[in-house]
Amino acid sequence: MKTLLDKETISRTLDRIAHEILEHYKNPSEFALVGIRTRGEFLAKRLQERIEQFSKQKVLLGILDITLYRDDLTQIANQPMLKATEIDFDITGKAIILVDDVLYTGRTVRSALNALIDFGRPTKIELAVIIDRGHRELPIKADYIGKNIPTSKEEKIEVRLKECDTKEEVVLTEK
């Protein structure tokens, strides 16, 4: 097991992504953050706090559960536990920044895009992730990246956050 990011680095990385988003949009009313359950939700909340702190303006936040849009629902045994999607604002006419922990095959993001479009028509959709580990199976890329980590498919990347795990770190393990 190898630690890729520790607690402090995760915090600094989120600071940087928050600044990049503000640099890009200038006015937080132009966009909304949407975290993909489970860990994307917590990362999106942290980004929201930071952007609000830096800009002194409110930032909209939604949470997306992509389970019903997965392309492997008919292949996996037993339905995964559903959690509600919470997007209580109109996404039409706004830029949406999807937030997730790891970008890998791109299939989760594909599901999230389909799910989002059922809620309205955003002006555009961007993607922010803590780790991009490569091995895409779909033509998808991230707009805001914490760290690029070249990996092999035999390796596993785990983002652990204090909201749902005991530790706060990003680690690389062998499967």
Task: Answer whether 141's CB lies under 8 Å from 173's CB.
Answer: no
Strand boundaries in the chain, DSSP class E: 2-5, 31-36, 60-64, 95-103, 124-132, 144-148, 155-160, 169-174
Shortest Å, Cβ 90 to another protein: 10
Residue placing its CB nearer to another protein in the complex, 1 or 81? 81
By CB under 8 A, name the binding residues for another protein: 65, 67-69, 73-74, 76-79, 81-86, 114, 118-120
Selection from 25, 5, 3 nearest residue 146 by Cα: 5
Residue placing its CB nearer to another protein in the complex, 7 or 73? 73
Shortest Å, Cβ 81 to another protein: 7
Shortest Å, Cβ 40 to another protein: 17
Is the N-terminal amide bond of 38 cis, ω within 30° of 0?
yes
Shortest Å, Cβ 79 to another protein: 3
Residue placing its CB nearer to another protein in the complex, 14 or 61? 61
Residue placing its CB nearer to another protein in the complex, 14 or 66? 66
Residues 153 and 138: their CA atoms lie apart, in Å, by: 16
